Amino acid sequence: MAKTELNNADLKSAARQAPEIDPARVTLQYTGFAWREYQVVVPDGFVAADLNEAPDAWRKIQSGGRNAFRKFDRVMVVAYDESWLAETIVAHADHKSVVFAKPRITTLPARFDKLFETEEYRVKFLGSGSYAVERKRDGAIVTQPVASSELAARDLNNLYPRKVA
């Protein structure tokens, strides 16, 4: 009978990689004399546990932009689908990683308003405040993303032919 052993090298290679944060998703909220406050919308696939377990996910932000985090900066991290947010303070920052001090995670409630849909199409929230029309049968996005659910509902209505009087 063969003995199965796991070593640390095997475990590290099997660990999931957190997606890197795009610097374009970092918004400066406030800058003061001692610290700054930011809002960051993390990409799809980034989970709250990655705040502590993936300090290198912030490499693109830290590699030289004007929004590179410094110690004591306040950061509000918002999930791509707006299902949770975390308020945290930068405990350590260098040119390739960020370590946060005890993030306070808040779960946000699901949508309470139903998005418009028909038998063939539905308005879908794409995250980061954008909406588009999705075809139900295959899940394909059939319109360009827009800023509000009302604009997406208008686009959905425009997919159908109009009756001529």
24-51 tens-digit pLDDT: 889 999 999 999 999 999 998 999 999 9
Do 122 and 134 contact (CB within 8 A), yes or no? yes
pLDDT in tens, 51-96: 999 999 999 999 977 889 999 999 999 998 888 999 999 999 999 9
Distance from C-alpha of 133 to C-alpha of 154, rounded to nearest angstrom: 10
| Domain boundaries defined on the chain | 12-107, 111-165
Phi then psi for residue 133, to 5 deg, are -100, 130
* Angle 97-103-107 from CA coordinates, rounded to 5°: 125
User: What pTM was estimated for this model as a whole?
Assistant: 0.73
The letter for the amino acid at 118 is: T
According to DSSP, residue 143 is labeled S
Mean pLDDT of 120-132: 87
Question: Which pLDDT band holds residue 13 (cuts at 50, 70, 90)?
Answer: very low
DSSP letter for each residue of 40-88: EEPPTT--TTHHHH-GGGGHHHHTT-TT---TT-EEEEE-TTSSEEEEE
Name the residue among 89, 90, 11, 78 with its Cα closest to residue 47. Answer: 78
Q: Quick count: other Cβ atoms within 10 Å of Cβ 156?
A: 23
6-10, 51-55, 79-83, 141-145, range with the lowest pLDDT: 6-10
Confidence band for 114, pLDDT divided at 50, 70 and 90: confident
Who wins on pLDDT, 124 or 12?
A: 124
Rounded mean pLDDT of the chain? 88
